[in-house]
Chain A
Amino acid sequence: MAFEGELLALLPRLRRFAAGLSRNAADGDDLCQAALERALKSRHLWAEGTRLDSWMYRIMRNIWIDEARARQRRAKTFAPEEEGENAPDPGDRRIEAAVELSDVARAMARLPDEQREVIALVLVEGFAYREAADILDIPIGTLTSRLVRGRNALLVELGEAA
C-alpha cells in the first residue's frame, strides 16, 4: 500500500494541477481520476526511488494532451448536432464563459495548451525549470521561451503588464 499511500498524499496537489490544466475546471477531477487509474494500472513502470510526483504529473499531462488531440479530431469529423437553431450564438457563449470563470481562470484558459502546462508546473506547482522540462520532456530552452510567452500573455490579460 506504500504506493497508494504516497498517491493519496499527492492527491491535493494533483487536483490543483488538473484544475489548472483542464481549462474548464469542471473537468479537473475527471482528469485526476483518469490519471490515478492509469497510474494504478502501470505502477510497475514507476521506478522506485524516483520522484512519484513528477511521474504522476507526467501521466496526467499526457492524458490531457491525448484527450485534447482526440477532441480536435472529433471537432473536425462532425459538427455537434447542437449547431442547429438551438445553438447559442457566440456572444452568448462568451458571456457564459465569463460568468463561469474568474479573470485569472479566464486568462489561463486563453493560453495555448503548451504555455498553460508550463505556467501550471512552474508558477503554480513550483517546479524548477529543469524539473518541469523533464516532466514535459522538452528542452529547457523550449520551456523558458514558452514560459516567457505565457507569462507575458497573462500579464497583458490581467492588466498587470509593466
Chain B
Amino acid sequence: MKITDEMLVAFADGELDPEVHAHVERAIAADPELGRKVEAHRRLRQTLTHHFGPIADEPVPEHLKALLTGQDLAAPATVVSLAGVRARRVEEAEAKRRWRPGWGIAAAMAASLVLGLAVGQNMGGSGPVAISGGTIVAQGELAKALDRQLASAQAMGLPTRIGLSFRSKEGSICRTFAGQAMSGIACEEDGRWRLEQILSGGRKATDYRQASAADPRLAAAVEDMIAGVPFDAEAERAARDADWRQ
C-alpha cells in the first residue's frame, strides 16, 4: 500500500482505522522522511491551537452576551446584517486612511502627546519608554517583547504584539509593535531599542478587534524606512539569535 499525503495527515490526526494506522506506523519506522512529515503536521496543529486558543479564553464582549441574556431589549427588532455592520467599520477605516497625507506632522504631534503622557507618568518608573542619552528607548515589558518575541510564534492576548521586522535604510533592524498604551516602530541601536515612531492608543488588551487593527500610518512609516522586504519567519528568528545586530 502506497503511503499518500492523505494517510499521513489522517495518521497525524488519529483518524485512521487500526489496520491502516498500523501500516502507516510501520512505514514511518522504515522511512524517517515520513516521520518528519507527520511531525510537521502535528506541530502545525499545535501552532494553530496556540495561535487561536487564547481567543476562546478572552472575556466575551458584552454586546454579544447581551443578545443572549435578554438585556438587549432596546435593540432594533430588525436583524443587523453582516454587510451593515461591516460597512460601518469600512467607513471608520477609510477615515483613518485619509489621515495619511498629513502623517509627518500628525505623527510628530501624536508622538509628543504620547511621550508627554507616557514619560510623564513614568519618570524613573517602569513604563514602556525611558529617555536615555537624549534618545527615547523602550524599557521593561516592551523592551523584553522587542528582544524576544517572534511575530511568527506569538500567542494572541500578549500585552505587546510584534508585527514586522525589517532592515531600515540606515542599516539597523527595526520592528513594529502594538501595545496597550501605544504602537510604533523601534530600531535596535547599541543594544537598546530606539523608538522611531510612536502612536498613541495601541490597543486594549482584552479587545481582540483592536489587537489586529493595523494603523495605516504605521504601515506608511515602515514603507518610508524599509530597505528591501520585511523579514520572513526564518530571517526574524536568525536576527533574534544574533541579538538584532547587523
Give residues in A with beta carbon < 8 Å to B: 1, 4-5, 7-8, 11-13, 15-16, 19-20, 24-34, 36-38, 40-41, 63, 67, 70, 82, 86, 88, 91-92, 95-105, 108, 119-120, 122-124, 128-129, 144-145, 147-148, 151-152, 154-155, 158-162
| Chain A interface mostly | helix
Find out whether the CB atom of A4 lies under 8 angstroms from the CB atom of B68: yes
| CA of A41 to CA of B67, assembled, Å | 12
Q: Is B114 an interface residue (CB 8 A)?
A: no
Find out whether the CB atom of B82 lies under 8 angstroms from the CB atom of A63: yes
Find out whether the CB atom of B51 lies under 8 angstroms from the CB atom of A102: yes
**Among candidates B10, B80, B163, residue contacting A33 with C-beta atoms closer than 8 Å:** B80
Find out whether the CB atom of B44 lies under 8 angstroms from the CB atom of A158: yes
Q: Is B57 an interface residue (CB 8 A)?
A: yes
Find out whether the CB atom of A12 lies under 8 angstroms from the CB atom of B164: no
Find out whether the CB atom of A162 lies under 8 angstroms from the CB atom of B64: no
- Chain B hits for A159, CB < 8 A: 152, 232-234
Q: Is B2 an interface residue (CB 8 A)?
A: no
Find out whether the CB atom of A155 lies under 8 angstroms from the CB atom of B44: yes
User: Would you list 23 pairs from A and B whose C-beta atoms are within 8 A, ordered by A residue?
Assistant: A12-B55, A15-B64, A15-B208, A25-B211, A26-B209, A30-B82, A30-B85, A33-B64, A34-B79, A34-B82, A38-B79, A40-B67, A41-B79, A82-B97, A96-B219, A103-B151, A103-B152, A104-B47, A124-B49, A155-B41, A158-B47, A162-B37, A162-B39
Find out whether the CB atom of A34 lies under 8 angstroms from the CB atom of B9: no
Find out whether the CB atom of A122 lies under 8 angstroms from the CB atom of B176: no
Q: Is B245 an interface residue (CB 8 A)?
A: no
Q: Is B154 an interface residue (CB 8 A)?
A: yes
Give residues in B with beta carbon < 8 Å to A: 5-6, 9-10, 13, 15, 33, 36-37, 39-41, 43-45, 47-49, 51-53, 55-58, 60-61, 63-65, 67-70, 79-83, 85-86, 89, 94, 97-98, 100, 151-154, 161, 163-164, 176, 208-209, 211-216, 218-220, 222-223, 226, 230, 232-234
User: B184 to chain A: closest CB distance in Å?
Assistant: 11
**Among candidates A24, A25, A37, residue contacting B80 with C-beta atoms closer than 8 Å:** A37
**Known contacts A28-B208, A36-B67, A148-B9; A160 and B43 CB within 8 A of each other:** yes
| CA of A95 to CA of B80, assembled, Å | 32
- Chain A hits for B5, CB < 8 A: 148, 152
**Among candidates A12, A25, A105, A147, residue contacting B60 with C-beta atoms closer than 8 Å:** A12
- Chain B hits for A122, CB < 8 A: 13
Find out whether the CB atom of B56 lies under 8 angstroms from the CB atom of A16: yes
| CA of A157 to CA of B82, assembled, Å | 30
Find out whether the CB atom of A99 lies under 8 angstroms from the CB atom of B219: yes
| CA of A97 to CA of B219, assembled, Å | 9
Find out whether the CB atom of B152 lies under 8 angstroms from the CB atom of A36: no
| CA of A65 to CA of B173, assembled, Å | 41
**Known contacts A12-B60, A104-B152; A67 and B83 CB within 8 A of each other:** yes
User: B160 to chain A: closest CB distance in Å?
Assistant: 12
- Chain A's closest residue to B35 (CB) is A162
